[in-house]
Chains A and B, each alone.
Chain A
C-alpha cells in the first residue's frame, strides 16, 4: 500500500509537462464547439488525479484527453459519442456523472426514495397528531386558559 502510493507520487512527479489546466493552444476557434468541449471536460474524471475533472487538472494525461475531446468534436461527434469514446477506453470510472444503469439505479433513485419515505413518515405523524387533537378537543379552552396564565406569569417575571 505504502509502496504503491509512493509509486503514484513518483509517477505524478515524473509527468513531462505540468500545465495549468486548459491551455490557450488547446482552445478551439469555434466558440460553440469550445463551449461544448469545456462542458464535456467538466464531466470527465482525470485518471491520475485524486478527484478532479480533466478540465481543471494539470496532469499530462488530462491534457491529452482534453485535446482528444476537441478532436472528436471537430470530427463531428456528438457530445454523447465523445463521452462514449472516452468511456470505452477508461471505463465508467471516468464519468463524473454516473450513467443510469443497473449498478447505479440505487444511486439515482435514492434521493426520490428518501424523499418519499420521509414524506410518508411526515404524513403519518401529521395524521396521528390530528387524530389526537380531535380526541383532545374539549381541552382547547383549558389549554388557552393555561397559556394565558403562563404568559401573564412570564410578563411579570421578565
Chain B
C-alpha cells in the first residue's frame, strides 16, 4: 500500500513539475503575475509530493518490507535501525530519490524565503528548476523505480554492503547531495538571468546565500567521506584521487571559485558573465558526477550497479541541461556589460587570480579523470591516470593560490597599495619561513616540498589572523574598543577569517599525515610488542565477538609510552555472513598531535597462519585530525557568512553600488 502511495506521489510531483516548467516562464514573458506566482505553490507541492514518496520508501526500509525489490536488495531484517534508514539512499534508486528531494527542497526554499527577489526572476528561476526536476523525476519513474515489487516476496534481504554500514557513511550521501544538488538553484538563477538578459549586483546578492549553503554542505560531505575512508578502509589514507572522489571535488573547487567571483559581482558589478558561467559549470560538474557514478563509464572503487541504458538517459539529460544553458550563454553573454573598473593591483585582480588558479585546477582534475576515456576512444589504448599525476599537477597550482590567499584580503577594491600590504606582511613571511625551518629541524625526514608547504600553511594562518587583527585594530586601540569593533564587523568578514584559517589548518593536516606518516606491518602473536613513534604497542589476544549481523575477531592491544599505560585499542575484523564479505574496523587513538591507528588481518602466509599469528598494521599519522578540524572551520566559516544580516534571506534591500576607494577593504 505505502509503496504505491509513494509511486503515485512521484507521478504527481512529475505532473506538478511539468506545469511549473511552463506556466511561470510564460507568465514572466507576458507579465501575467498570477502565472508567475503559481511557481510558489507548485514548488512547495513538489517538495511535499517527493517528501511523501521519500517517507514511503523509508518506511519500507524501516519495517523491512521485502516485497519491495529495493529493500530486498539493500537491507536485512537484522540490520541496525540506523542503517535500515540509511539504506533508503544506499542504492541507485533510493539515492536518486534523495537527489530529487533535495532538488525540490532548494526550489521550495527559494519559493518560501526568496521574498526579496523580483517576481519575474523568481518565476523564471523556479521554472528552470522545474525543468531539471522534470528530467530527473521522469528518469526515476521510467528507469529506476524505487518502489518496484518482487513476487513472491523473499523471506529476508541481501543486506547492504557492510563497508557502507557505518555512521559516517550513512550521513555522507545526504550532505554530499545537499551540496551538489544545491548548486542546481544557482544554475537556475543563472539561466533565468540569461533569459532575462540582465544581471547586476543585486542578482549576485540573491544568489549568494544559496551558493554558500550548497558549498558548506559539499565541504562537509567531502570531509565526511574522506574521514570515512580514513578509518574504515584500514589504510589510513583519506584521499585517493579516484574518479568518484574527483567528481565530487570538482564542483567544490569550481563552487569555491564561484563563491569568490560572486563577491566581485556583488560589490563591484564586475565579472558578470564569468560568474554566470561559473554558476552553470559548477552544476554541470555535479551533473557530470551523477552521470559518471551511475553509468559505469570509468572504473572506480565506488560506483553503483552499472547500467549503460541509464547512462544514456542521464547523458541525454546532461545534453539538454548543459548543452542548452551553454548555448544560451554563448548567445546572451557577449551582450553583458562589464561593470566596475579596477587596476592590476586590487582586490578584484586578486580574486581574478584566485579564480584563474581554481578553474585551472578544476580543468586539470577533469581532464585527468577523463583522459583514459579519451585515449581509449581515440587509439584503443588504455592508460591509467592515478594519484601521482594529480599530486604532480594539482599541488603546484594550489601552493601559489594559498600564498595569494594570505595577501588577497589585505587588498582594497579598485586600487590597492601593494607596498603597504607587503610592509604589513613582511614579519609574517619571516615567521612562516622560520616555521618551515623549525619543522625541518624537528622532523628531519620527508620531502622538501613538505617543509615549503608547512611554511605556506603557516603563512596563510598568520596572515589571516593578522588581517582580522588589523580590521578590529587589535593592540592599536584599547581592548574594549577592539572587541566593540569585532562585534560590529560584518559576520561575513568573520566567516572569511574562519574559513581561510580552516584551510590553513587542514593543509597542515594534509602535509603532516602524508609526509611524516610512519607504519609498521608485522606478524604478531600474543605478547608481541611493536614500537612506533615512541609508543610501545603490545598485542594481547584475539577473541571472537558477535554483533547484530556480523561475527568479529577482536584484538586487544595495550599501548604504553615510556612504560606508562596510555590506552587499550580494539581493532576488529568483521565478517558479514549474509553479505558474504569482511571489513576491518580499525582502532584509533586520536590526539591533536596525531593518530595511533591499528588494524588487524588474517595473515596470507600459510606458515604464519598455522602458528596462530595475525597481521597487524600500525600507523602513526601526525596532525591528521587537523584535516577534520580545518574542514569543520571551513563549514562554520561558511555558516557565519550565511548568517550575516546583509545576506539574510528575505532582507529586502537593494545592493549598494560601489564602495568608495578610501574605505578599507572588507
Contacts and interface: CB of A to CB of B under 8 A. Distances in A.
Contact of B349 (A53, A126, A128): A126
A23 B237 contact: no
Contact of A147 (B341, B382, B392, B657): B657
B161 to A, nearest CB: 13
A45 interface: yes
Interface in B623-662: 653, 656-661
Contacts of A25: 523, 603-605, 608
B386 A45 contact: yes
A100 to B, nearest CB: 11
B235 A98 contact: no
A19 interface: yes
Interface class of chain A by DSSP:
helix
A57 B234 CA distance: 11
A130 B343 contact: yes
A150 B523 CA distance: 73
B359 A92 contact: no
B386 A96 contact: yes
Interface residues of A, number: 59
Contact of B601 (A5, A19, A128, A146): A19
Most A CB atoms within 10 A — which of B242, B357, B601?
Answer: B601
B389 A150 contact: no
Given A27-B521, A103-B379, A19 B604 contact: yes
A96 B605 CA distance: 28
A119 interface: yes
A128 B338 contact: yes
A77 interface: no
B360 A114 contact: yes
A148 B658 CA distance: 10
A132 B389 CA distance: 42
A150 B615 contact: no
B360 A97 contact: no
A92 B522 CA distance: 33
A5 B660 contact: no
Given A24-B522, A98-B383, A126-B344, A50 B388 contact: no
Interface in A92-139: 92-98, 103-104, 106-107, 110-111, 114-115, 118-119, 122, 125-126, 128-130, 132-133, 136
Given A24-B603, A24-B615, A96 B367 contact: no
A40 to B, nearest CB: 11
Interface string B181-214: 0000000000000000000000000000000000
B260 interface: no
B282 to A, nearest CB: 17
A92 B375 CA distance: 12
Given A93-B383, A144-B660, A129 B342 contact: yes
A156 to B, nearest CB: 12
A85 to B, nearest CB: 17
B627 to A, nearest CB: 19
A32 to B, nearest CB: 13
A31 B349 CA distance: 50
B371 interface: yes
Given A20-B617, A129-B342, A93 B382 contact: yes
Interface residues of B, number: 65
A107 B389 contact: yes
A53 B661 CA distance: 54
A23 B661 CA distance: 64
Interface string B511-544: 0000000000111000000000000000000000
Interface stretch (B29-37, B87-95, B299-307, B502-510): B299-307
Contacts of B364: 110-111, 114
Nearest to A94: B384
Interface string B300-329: 110100101000000000000000000000
B356 A119 contact: yes
Contacts of A61: none
A21 interface: yes
Contacts of B657: 146-147, 150
Contacts of A154: 656
A115 B341 contact: no
A50 B306 CA distance: 13
Nearest to B362: A114
A70 interface: no
Contacts of B615: 19-20, 23-24
Nearest to B660: A147
B584 interface: yes
Closest 3 CB pairs of A and B: A96-B386, A19-B604, A20-B601
18 contacts: A5-B306, A20-B601, A20-B602, A20-B617, A24-B521, A24-B522, A24-B523, A25-B605, A51-B386, A56-B235, A96-B388, A98-B371, A103-B379, A104-B375, A136-B341, A144-B660, A147-B658, A147-B660
Interface of B: 234-235, 237, 240, 242-243, 299-301, 303, 306, 308, 338, 341-344, 349, 352-353, 356-357, 359-360, 363-364, 367-368, 371, 374-375, 379, 381-389, 392-393, 397, 521-523, 584, 599, 601-605, 608, 615, 617, 653, 656-661, 663
Given A23-B605, A126-B344, 13 more contacts: A5-B306, A45-B384, A51-B240, A92-B382, A92-B384, A96-B388, A97-B388, A104-B383, A110-B363, A110-B368, A122-B353, A126-B349, A146-B658
